[in-house]
Amino acid sequence: MKLDLPLHCQILLNGLTDPACLRRYCDSDWELLVRMARRVKLLGRLGLLVKEYGIWDQVPPRITTQMASALVQVEKLQQLNRWELNRVLWALNDLDTSIIALKGVAYTLAEIPYASGRLSIDLDLLVPQSDLADIESLLMVKGWKHRPLSAYDEHYYRVWSHEIPPLVHAERETEVDIHHTLIPLTSRLKINPELLFDTAIPVNNSTIRLLNPVDMVIHCAINLFQNNELANDLRDLLDLHDLMVFFSARTIDFWTQLIDRSNQLKLSRAVFYSLHFSQLIFKTPVPKKVPVRLHARPGRLKLWIMNRLVPLALFPQHPDKPMLSASLARLLMYLRSHLIRMPLYILVPHLAYKSVRMIRFKSRKSRS
Amino acid sequence: MVVNQIPFEEFRMLIRRQGLRVAIGPFNVCIHTSYKPLIEQLYLLYSHYRIVQDEIAEFHVRIVTERSLRNPFKRNVRFLLDGQSPFESFPQEQALAALEWGINLAIAVRVNHLLLLHSAVVEKNGHVILFPAWPGSGKTTLCTVLSYHGFRLFSDEFGLMDTQRQLFLPIPRLMPLKNESIAVIRNYLPDIVMGRPIPNTQKGTVAHVRPPEKSILLSKHTCKARWIIFPKWIADTSVKIEAISDAEAFMMLASNAFNYEALGAAGFGAVANLIRSCDCFKLVYSDFDSVMEVLHQLTNET
Amino acid sequence: MHWRTNHFETLLIENWNEEYTVFQPDSGKTHFLNQMSMEMLIYLDQKPATLEEISAYMAAQFQQQPDHSFQRNIEKVLYHFDTLGLVKKSFVSSWHGSQPDSI
C-alpha cells in the first residue's frame, strides 16, 4: 500500500523522516512545517533533528528561535517530570511496593533515541492494584491532591478507568497519573497486570522500574490504537517507531518476543495496526513475516477503511485550511475509540455527557 | 512599507485574503479577519507598523465571527491561534481586545528563546527602566505617560531579554488602559490616538492607546537595563522613591515572570546579572508631573 | 537518624548581602534563603548530622539558647527542606555508605 498524503502532511513527514530534504525548504515551507509540527507536539523533535544534521545555522532565524523555544519547553517539562518522579519515590520510600514508569519518563530512562526531544506533560506510573489505596493515601498525606472533580468524573475514574483521578502536589503543577492496568476496565480486552510486573526491568540506582521492551511497545500500541482517539497523535506513532527501531537493533529475537507477547496478552490487534502504520508512515523496518503471525489481524475491508482514516486523523489539519475529510476521519476514529473501550449502554450516556462538557469547558482543553 | 502608506481598501484586502503581516518588535504576526469594524480600528491603531508580507511570521492569528450559542440573533467573535481557539468567544464589540489578549497569550506561552519578564519597559539616554507588574502598579498608565514624555516605549507588558547578551528588545504594542485611567490619560494627553473604549470586558472598560511612531520606528534598537522600579499608585500621596534589597527585587521579578522557571539555570543567571547591573527601587506616586521629575532626575544623574 | 544535604554541589547560589537566592536544578525551583538557613545547609554539606548536633552548632553560631523550642524550629526547617529535596534523611552511620539514590 502506498501512502497518499496531502501536501501539507508531506511537508511535515518529510521534515521528520528525511532531514536532508530540509535544505530545500523555502520560507513558506518552513513556516508551515513549524506550525504543523507544533500542533502534534513534535516541534522539539524537529529542533533536535535540525541540530543533529548540522543545518541549524542554515535555517531562517525566525524558525530556529521557535525550535529553540520548543526545546526549552520540552526540557522544562522533562525536568518537572523527573522531579515529580523523584518526589513520588521519596514520598513512597517506606512502602514496600513496585512502581513502573510509563511513557515519556520511561523512554528517557530507557535512553530511547530522541526521548530528550519528547514533549511529556504528565507523569504516568503503573502500580499494583493491591497497593493502590496505600499509595494514594500516602501521597495525599504528603501533599498531593486530586483536582476538583464532578461526581460523574469521579465515578468514571473509579469504576471504568484504568487509572485513578490525577494527583497534583500542592506546590507543583505536574499531574501524576497512577494506573493499575493498561486498558480501561470497560473494554472487552482484559490484561493481567501481574505479567507486566513479573518481567519489569529495574533502573540503575533507583527503585523505579520499566516495562520490558516488548511490553513497552505493546503499551504504546494499545494507547494509540485502543485508548486514544488518534487525532493529532502522530507523535505517539513516532514513539512506536522509535521504540521498535531501538529495541529491534539490540535484542536478537525482539520481533518474535513481540508477537508471542501480543498473542499471549490478546492485544495483537492494536499491535498489528501499530506495525502496519508505523511501517507505512515512518518506514519502520518490520520483517515481512512478523505481522502475519499476529492472531487478531483485521479483515481486508476493515484494513482498507483504516488505511484511509488513520493517516488523516494522525496528521494535523492544515492550520488555515482544515479539510472536511480529515474532520470526518477524526470523528469516526473518535467514535471507534470509544466503541472499543466501552459497551454501548455505558458509551451513549458517556458521549452525551462529554459533548455537553466540551461546550462548557472548551477553554480548558487548550492546555495540551 | 508601513500600514498608513497603503490605502484602506488595500489594507482590507490584505487582512481578509492572505492575512496582514506586521513586524511587532522582534516578531512578525500574521493577522486574518473579515470583521470590518476590527479592520477599521486596526487601520488606525496599527498605522505605524511595518508590513512584512514576504517574511516568515511566528504567530498566525484570526478573529472570526460566529453565531452566539445562547442568543442566535447575536454575533460573537472568536480568537484563533493557528486554527486553535484558546478562549471562549467574545461579544463582537470586544474584537480588538480579544485580538490583543490573544497575541499576548501567544507570546507568553510560546516564546522561550528570550526571558519574558512581566514588566513595562521604557528607555532613556540609552538605558532601560523596568517597571515590573505587581498588584496596583498601574504600569500601563505610567508607561503611556512616559512614552509620550521623552521616554522611548519598549513595552507596557513584556520585558523581553536576550539572556546571552543581556539586552532588552522593544516590542511596542497597543497599550490597553483600564477603567478610570482612560479618562485620566485623555485629560493628561489629549492629543494621543486611542481606540474606542470597550465596556464590559473581563477587565472592565478597556481602551487601546496607539504607541508613539518613533518607538515603533526604533524598535530594532536594543538596550541594557539600568534601573528596576516597582511602582505603586496611591491616591493623594506625594512621590517617594526608595531603594530595596537586591534579594527582594530578585524574588519579586522572578516570581512574576512569564517563563523564568521554564528557562531554568539560564533564567536564574540572567536575573542575577540583571539585578547586579541595576539599581532597584520602590516608587509610590499619585501624579504624573512629580513622578516624571523624579525619573528625569534619576536618569540624568548618570 | 542523620540529616545530610541532597545534591548540594549542584545548587547555584547568589549571595546578596547575607540573603541568598538559590537555584536547585533538580526541582527547577529558586529558593530564597536567609543567612541561618544557608549556614545550616553548608554545615550539613560538610558532614551528616543529627538534629541535636545541628541545633547545638546553629545555637553557637547565632548566639541562641539551644533549648527545646530552638530545636523544634530547627527540626521544622529540616522537614521543610526535606520536602523541597534540599536535604534528606540518612540512616547509615557512615555517610560514605552507598544508599541508592533516587533519580
In a domain, C57, yes or no: yes
When pLDDT is cut at 50, 70 and 90, the band that residue B301 belongs to is confident
What long-range pairs does C70-74 form, CB within 8 A, spacing at least 24? Answer: C74/C40
pLDDT digits (tens, 9 = 90+) for C19-78: 999 999 999 999 999 999 999 999 999 999 999 999 999 999 999 888 999 999 999 999
- Count structural domains, chain A: 1
pLDDT digits (tens, 9 = 90+) for A120-140: 999 999 999 999 999 999 999
Residue scoring higher pLDDT (A361 or B135):
B135
* Cα–Cα distance measured from residue A321 to residue A284, given in angstroms and rounded to the nearest whole number: 30
When pLDDT is cut at 50, 70 and 90, the band that residue B302 belongs to is low
CB-closest option in B245, B254, B261 to C16: B245
Spell out which residues of chain B touch residue C17, defining contact as CB-CB under 8 Å.
Answer: 245-247
Gyration radius (Cα) of chain A, Å: 20
* Cα–Cα distance measured from residue B62 to residue B42, given in angstroms and rounded to the nearest whole number: 13
Spell out which residues of chain C touch residue B265, defining contact as CB-CB under 8 Å.
Answer: 12, 23, 25
A319 touches chain B (CB under 8 A): yes
Q: Domain of residue B138: give its range.
A: 115-173+211-301
In a domain, A2, yes or no: no
Q: Domain of residue C86: give its range.
A: 2-90
B58 touches chain A (CB under 8 A): yes
C98 touches chain A (CB under 8 A): no
* Disruptive mutation site among A83, A100, A105 for chain C (greatest number of C CBs within 10 Å): A83
What long-range pairs does A254-259 form, CB within 8 A, spacing at least 24? Answer: A254/A213, A254/A214, A255/A286, A255/A287, A255/A290, A257/A213, A257/A214, A258/A214, A258/A217, A258/A218, A258/A290, A259/A290, A259/A293, A259/A294
Q: Which CATH number fits the domain that encloses residue C13? A: 3.90.930.60
* Cα–Cα distance measured from residue A29 to residue A36, given in angstroms and rounded to the nearest whole number: 11
User: From B246, which residue of chain C is nearest by alpha-carbon distance?
Assistant: C16
The whole-number average pLDDT for the span B188-199 is 96
The whole-number average pLDDT for the span A304-323 is 89
Residues of chain A by 3-state class (helix, strand, coil), percent to 5: 60, 5, 30
In a domain, B292, yes or no: yes
In a domain, A1, yes or no: no
C-alpha cell of residue B183: 479618562
**ipTM summary value:** 0.95
CA distance B230 to chain C (A): 19
Over A308-365, what HEC string results? HHHHHHHCCCCCCCCCHHHHHHHHHHHHHHHHCCCCHHHHHHHHHHHHHHHHHCHHHH
User: From B26, which residue of chain A is nearest by alpha-carbon distance?
Assistant: A62
Q: Which CATH number fits the domain that encloses residue A17? A: 3.30.460.40
Write down the pLDDT at residue A356: 56
The whole-number average pLDDT for the span A163-173 is 92
Residues B174, B179, B182, B188, Cα dihedral to 10°: -120
List, as one string, the DSSP characters of A197-257.
Answer: HHT-EE-TTSSEEE--HHHHHHHHHHIIIIIS--TTTHHHHHHHHHHHHHHHHH-TTHHHH
Q: Chains meeting A at 3+ CB pairs closer than 8 A? A: B, C
In a domain, B206, yes or no: no
Write down the pLDDT at residue C99: 47
CB-closest option in A80, A143, A208 to C103: A208
- Count structural domains, chain B: 2
Q: Domain of residue A130: give its range.
A: 7-365
In a domain, B182, yes or no: no
- Count structural domains, chain C: 1
Give the residue from B76, B85, B78 showing the smallest Cα distance to B64.
B78
B126 and B242 in a single domain? The answer is: yes
Task: Tell me if C85 and A82 make a contact (CB, 8 A cut-off).
Answer: no
Cβ(B255)–Cβ(B134) below 8 Å: no
Cβ(A47)–Cβ(A66) below 8 Å: no
Put simply, the chain A residues between 241 and 280 with a CB less than 8 A from any chain B CB are none
Task: Tell me if A87 and C85 make a contact (CB, 8 A cut-off).
Answer: yes
B230 and B283 in a single domain? The answer is: yes
CA distance B292 to chain A (A): 37
B44 and B102 in a single domain? The answer is: yes
Q: Please give the C-alpha separations between residue C99 and each of A92, C5, C50, C96, in angstroms, as whole numbers.
A: 16, 13, 18, 9
Q: Are strands B27-33 and B127-132 parallel, antiparallel or unpaired?
A: unpaired
Write down the pLDDT at residue C102: 46
Domain end residue (candidates: B110, B138, B157)? B110
Q: Please give the C-alpha separations between residue A330 and each of A300, A307, A317, A333, in angstroms, as whole numbers.
A: 21, 13, 10, 5
* Coil vs helix vs strand at C85: coil
User: From A361, which residue of chain B is nearest by alpha-carbon distance?
Assistant: B88
B289 touches chain C (CB under 8 A): no
B146 and B232 in a single domain? The answer is: yes
B150 and B295 in a single domain? The answer is: yes
A87 touches chain C (CB under 8 A): yes
Domain end residue (candidates: B110, B138, B162)? B110
